[in-house]
Amino acid sequence: MNDLIRMVASSRPARLDENEDTRPDPASIMAHPQRPVARPASRRRLVAATALAVAGAVIVGGVAARTNEPGSTPSATGTTTGTRTGTPAPATARALLLAAAEQTTQDSSNGRYWRIVIEQGERLEVGPASRPYAILRKISEERWLPTGQQAAAGAVVARMLGARPVGAADEEAWKADGSPRQWRQGDVVITMAGGPRGVKMAPAGAVGLWLAGAPVTMKQLAALPSDPAALRKWLLARLDTAAEGPADYLLFVAGQALVTELPVRPAVRAATYRMLADLPEVRLFGAVLDQHGRAGTAVGYLRNGSETRLIVDGADGQALAQESWHGDTLLSYQVFESTGYTNEAPPMR
């Protein structure tokens, strides 16, 4: 993850750095999923924390509606789609997750690469201490992970999508701050401007993957058990006992990674959904729109006033997005624009 974020940072025009020798290392501020923030978020400084490598986070809306409807609804891209018309609404989180498991087992696709396209970012508070305001920063990321034993290189394609004030009140405070086009937090420079696309090639076997708080190899992912109880036992054995939060919360976070972004067998994804269905604290939040306006159903884990959400298309078991909330404030999101196997070659530049 650090190399990816440094690559994205290096694509920023040099004029945006006041001192070339102090160019920021965004690896310290980009990440996913976030730890819940156990305090009011409205006028405090919110900083994302990380747990999964090669990932990130962002936010939309100042105090976002609980329906999750974005202020603007960009067109969905990629192959992932929203819930189909006519799909019965699930009555419980368990019902949704078990239905997703049944749909997932029908997926038998494979290919030379696992390719995933994600929009992600984070919410930050910037500006003077007397009148701080929130900004939204986004990043687009495309990952190519070789699936076989061939000596193939992986690739990560990334582009900064810029930053902007989150809501109307934030925009007013931004204007009162002189309408800056960039912000500095410590050694990190955040800009309103997007950046050019950057491609980073990774040698065979060197693409960083994380699961349950520790690095995981493609070989380990291929050998994951497809029985929900055995999968739970495997994950519990590698969870960091010093990590903050109860085991079920950490299992929920690990389960999110398995159903959204990691290249695992369909049977393992199905087992993950069934494992999540057995977690007693996972609750149903109902029908929502993800940050690209796609319809889905949200389930999540509520802890200390903060909420970790997974948005699923109940018609086909496809995970559309994951989000972090505190109260009515959306802290971060990842939208999975396209996921799946391909025999195409990754871009070289």
Q: pTM of this prediction?
A: 0.74
Q: Which of residues 115 and 152 earns the better pLDDT score?
A: 115
> How much helix, strand and coil, in percent to the nearest 5, is found in the chain?
25, 30, 45
The dihedral sign for the CA sequence 142, 302, 29, 16:
positive
What pLDDT, on the 0 to 100 scale, is given for residue 276? 97
What pLDDT shows up at residue 35? 34
Measured CA to CA, the distance from residue 75 to residue 79 in angstroms comes to: 12
Distances (CA, A) of 306 to 157, 258, 334: 31, 22, 17
CB 156 within 8 A of CB 200: yes
| 74 upstream amide cis, omega within 30 of 0 | no
Distance of CA 255 to the CA centre of its chain: 13
Q: Which of 322, 343, 182, 181 is nearest to 258 (CA)?
A: 322
Residue 348 within a domain? no
349 occurs within a structural domain = no
Asked if residues 298 and 68 have their Cβ atoms less than 8 Å apart, the reply is: yes
3 state DSSP class of 94: helix
Asked if 170 and 132 count as a contact pair (C-beta separation under 8 A), the reply is no
pLDDT for the residue numbered 88: 65
Contacts of 72 (CB under 8 A, 6+ apart): none
Q: Which is more confident, 60 or 235? A: 235
In percent, how much of the chain has pLDDT > 90?
40
Q: Domains in the chain: how many in total?
A: 1
Least confident of 10-19, 161-170, 188-197, 274-283: 10-19
| Listed range (24-33, 98-107, 142-151, 245-254) with the worst mean pLDDT | 24-33
Q: What's the pLDDT tens digit per position in 103-132?
A: 887 655 678 888 999 999 899 999 999 999
Q: What domain range includes position 189?
A: 2-73+87-342
Query: pLDDT by residue (tens digit) across 26-65?
Result: 333 233 333 333 333 333 333 333 222 333 322 222 223 3
Give me the chain's average pLDDT, please.
75
Contact 212, 235 (CB under 8 A): yes
